[in-house]
């Protein structure tokens, strides 16, 4: 014979397991909850006349996350962000477990945003760092803004895109973190790579001597004219402004910082061109001689952007073509880097 309630007294019912619980409410608890560690508060009660319970267990669906305690409400944690859950409750006492409650209504779990992903920084424009990141998952609440913070102190709030241009002093080195913000709180990215902000060379770096033709890449031993080399800190003298033939291709900055080409005659003031950073070039004009300076390695340290500020046109009676390549055509007074044979 099974135990049943009915005509038994309340005192007799005390010897039975609790009745089927009733879920009264389920409430998302999102404030300052870490991404994918959401929580829901579940409130419940027992029907009138039920034997008392000594503990309750709340279980989520999906996931089977549980919380156990002696009284309502209970907080179920470790729930995935921006995910819908329902819950059931079982009441227990010394005589057994109740029937599981009916499932609750569904509640969507929210948290702070996911930390911004793929944060990085580049510097190809003078006195500017370009910080970017991938849009993170919002944690179930819309991301309202981002804050970019530099390792050297300044913060830049209220950013609504996934990139930001930071004004920095050329030659300084720093990294950045990005904080995503929603109504529940904030989350911070890992630090970006460290970057040394590009330093703007003096204006005398910009005449046509900076126009480097594709001949820089072939043949071996041809290192392009010195004007093409414009690393931060290289203060080449004004006489680097030598001539290119008007049809010589110049490496210009194309869409999305790609490498493109224009004939020298088509390059205009204000255009951006690609320049090569040669590590060993002297850092002041007194130490540089176009006739006597040399390096055993001529290490190329990368490519940088250089803006054309001035352009001059002159008439040359004779030109030189290297290896019969019409793309490598220069005036006779154009400086070049060459590899010395042993």
Residue 200's pLDDT is 53
Residue 18's pLDDT is 97
Task: Please tell me the chain's helix, strand, coil percentages from 3-state DSSP, rounded to the nearest 5.
Answer: 10, 40, 55
Q: Which domains does the chain have, with CATH numbers?
A: 10-109 (2.60.40.10), 117-196 (2.60.40.10), 203-331 (no CATH)
Q: Provide the pairing of β-strand 38-45 with 22-28.
A: antiparallel
Residue 99's pLDDT is 97
Q: Provide the pairing of β-strand 272-278 with 300-307.
A: antiparallel
Residue 320's pLDDT is 76
Residue 134's pLDDT is 97
Residue 199's pLDDT is 74
Residue 23's pLDDT is 98
Q: What is the pLDDT along the chain (342 residues), one digit of tens a residue?
A: 344 444 444 455 557 999 999 999 999 999 999 999 999 999 999 999 999 999 999 999 999 999 999 999 999 999 999 999 999 999 999 999 999 999 999 999 999 999 999 999 999 888 899 999 999 999 999 999 999 999 999 999 999 999 999 999 888 999 999 999 999 999 999 999 999 998 754 433 333 333 333 333 333 333 333 333 333 333 333 333 446 667 677 778 877 777 777 777 788 888 888 776 666 676 655 565 655 667 666 666 666 777 877 776 666 667 777 766 666 667 766 666 665 544
Q: List the one residue out of 264, 274, 143, 136 whose CA is nearest residue 208.
A: 264
Element (DSSP H or E) covering residue 10? helix 10-13
> How far is Cα 176 from Cα 191, in angstroms, rounded to an integer?
6
């Amino acid at each position: 014979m099974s135990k049943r309630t009915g005509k038994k007294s309340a005192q007799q019912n005390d010897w039975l397991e609790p009745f089927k619980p009733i879920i009264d409410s389920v409430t998302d608890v999102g404030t300052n909850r870490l991404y994918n560690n959401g929580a829901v508060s579940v409130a419940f009660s027992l029907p009138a006349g039920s034997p008392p319970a000594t503990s309750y267990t709340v279980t989520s669906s999906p996931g089977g996350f549980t919380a156990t305690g002696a009284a309502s409400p209970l907080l179920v944690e470790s729930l995935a962000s921006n995910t819908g859950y329902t819950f059931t409750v079982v009441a227990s006492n010394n005589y057994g477990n109740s029937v599981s409650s009916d499932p609750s209504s569904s509640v969507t779990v929210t948290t702070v945003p996911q930390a911004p992903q793929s944060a990085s920084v580049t510097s190809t424009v003078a006195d500017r760092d370009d910080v970017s990141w991938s849009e993170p998952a919002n944690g179930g609440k819309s991301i309202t803004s981002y804050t970019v913070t530099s390792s050297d102190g300044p913060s830049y709030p209220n950013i609504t895109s996934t990139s930001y241009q930071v004004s920095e002093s050329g030659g300084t080195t720093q990294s950045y973190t990005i904080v995503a913000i929603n109504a529940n709180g904030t989350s911070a990215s890992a630090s970006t790579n460290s970057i040394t902000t590009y330093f703007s060379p003096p204006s005398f770096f910009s005449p046509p001597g900076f126009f480097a033709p594709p001949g820089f890449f072939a043949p071996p031993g041809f290192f392009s004219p010195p004007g093409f080399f414009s690393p931060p800190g290289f203060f080449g003298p004004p006489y680097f402004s030598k001539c290119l033939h008007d049809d010589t291709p110049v490496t210009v900055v194309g869409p999305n910082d790609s490498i493109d080409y224009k004939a020298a005659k088509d390059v205009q003031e204000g255009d951006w061109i690609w320049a090569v950073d040669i590590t060993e070039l002297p850092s002041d004009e007194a130490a540089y001689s176009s006739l006597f300076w040399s390096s055993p390695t001529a290490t190329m340290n990368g490519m940088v952007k250089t803006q054309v500020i001035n352009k001059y046109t002159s008439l040359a009676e004779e030109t030189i073509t290297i290896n019969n390549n019409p793309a490598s055509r220069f005036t006779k007074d154009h400086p070049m880097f060459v590899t010395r044979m042993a």
